[in-house]
Chains A and B, each alone.
Chain A
Amino acid sequence: MTRFEDLSRFTRVCITREGGLVAAPGLMRPRTFDVVECSSDEQNALCHWLNEGERIGREASPGRGDQRYFRICLYKDRDGEASPDEELNVPEDAAPAGVKALWEEGRIEPL
């Protein structure tokens, strides 16, 4: 059981790209995915990419020395400014294709 096994606990998944020498707020370009609107296939794919991202993020030190990374936040509440219930950092240049697609294209790469 991983912390991303069951997405039904969450309502929203938000991904930003952060860090880097520039670290300007305009470059974060957040994308939000509404979990309820995702089909079960999409939810499974999302879980898969989050687990892959977690595996890679754990081996690295995302951000260090101005390296950019993806920050993925999972929220239980529907809106508002609450802090995320789970979060995950994945180094950009080692990120799985499915994590990159979330941010670059706003798309859940199918399995």
Chain B
Amino acid sequence: MTSRHAPVIPPHMLDALARHGAGHLKSRAQNTLSIDQQFRQPMSARAKASLIHQNYPDSAPGAPARYIFDANHQTRLPGELVLEEGGALLDDPQVVEAYEDLGATYRFFHDVMGRHSIDGEGMALLGTVHYGQEYQNAFWNGEQMVFGDGDGEVFLPFTRALDVVAHELTHGVTELTAGLEYRDQPGALNESISDVFGVMVKQYARGEDVTQADWLIGADLLAEGVNGKALRSMSAPGTAYDDPMLGKDPQPAHMDQFVNTRSDNGGVHINSGIPNHAFYLIAMELGGNSWETAGQIWYDTLTDERLASDAQFIDFAGLTMAHATQRFGQRVAEAVMNGWKQVGIGP
């Protein structure tokens, strides 16, 4: 049975590494074993990050430190290390996609937001591909990103979509900044922040302004024959898919349609449609590149110590207005307020 708070390297592998590993790997493995023995309780996000620092060398500011693993269709994490930063690219599309998409996400956070990796301190980016059998998901487990290959009928490999890779990495950023709880409204904000940064990373990489962008999440994931265009639409939440296998996109775009449910951790992937749509409206109203104005306001808000881990939509909206005023002045702050108002949030 795997524990949810297992170290990044499974204990039996650490043991083998400690006995047989090459010099630097050997000392790292011994280090992790002794640390793990101290942590029988669930580890905080910070503690997990420091474990990554101790086991995977980080990089100088401006460059990522990427480590790509292959799970070989098992569910043991992180799997076999197949590519390190600067290594020769393998003839495996998912390994290359994960490596390149993590690089593009790193560049966005560094070049646009001035953040050196997930924790701001150069933490290594760990990604595992070929996770599980026909696995239709990608996730962040508190230490690393994990990508399934999809089943080929509904979903293609999850590394194909840069916005999805960026979405998962952003979960790491959120855990290490605002630490928004993964339930109800704070959880929907957590999800929305991952979509917002996911979509911006894609727009930045493609050089698209707000009118050129498709404002879709995971458009590259759906296999041919699925009746849908993406996993979510920020411009028109609730319209991404309507398919016999997937059902109908349940996202609301306005507080009037807020979904009260205990399903999906309290609708975190459902009600995220509301702040997603607010971001879209605000970015469209401001024009130009999403990351230059709206994106800066969102990043300022995410990293503001006043953003509580149990923040509600209204709290988040209030802080975006404060940061809009502070960084860009009254005109931009009014556009931000109008965007929130149009989704039913605000005074």
Contact = CB atoms under 8 A, between A and B. Distances in A.
Interface of A: 16, 18-28, 56, 59-68, 71, 83-84, 87, 91, 93-94, 96
13 contacts: A19-B269, A21-B138, A21-B139, A21-B158, A22-B136, A23-B269, A26-B244, A60-B42, A64-B265, A65-B139, A65-B171, A66-B168, A96-B1
Interface string B235-250: 0000001011111111
Contacts of B138: 21, 66
Contacts of B140: 65-66
A66 B269 CA distance: 9
B246 A24 contact: yes
A63 B268 contact: yes
Nearest to B267: A23
Given A24-B241, A26-B245, A26-B246, A94 B141 contact: no
B264 A18 contact: yes
B182 A22 contact: no
Given A65-B168, A65-B175, A93-B75, A59 B42 contact: yes
Contacts of A62: 265
A48 B172 CA distance: 35
Most buried by B among A28, A83, A94: A94
Nearest to A28: B263
Contacts, number: 102
A62 B42 CA distance: 13
Contact of B4 (A25, A27, A66, A91): A91
B2 interface: yes
Contacts of B248: 25
B246 A93 contact: no
Of the candidates A23, A67, A94, the one having the most CB atoms from chain B within 10 angstroms of its own CB is A23
Interface string B131-154: 000001111111000000000000
Contact of A59 (B3, B246, B249): B3
A94 B139 contact: no
B139 A66 contact: yes
A22 B139 contact: no
Contacts of A94: 1-4
Contacts of B264: 18-19, 23, 63
Contacts of B244: 26
B231 interface: yes
A74 to B, nearest CB: 13
Contacts of A67: 139, 141
Contacts of A93: 2, 75
B164 interface: yes
Which 8 A-B residue pairings sit nearest by Cβ, starting from the closest? Answer: A26-B247, A25-B247, A65-B140, A23-B269, A60-B4, A66-B139, A24-B246, A64-B182
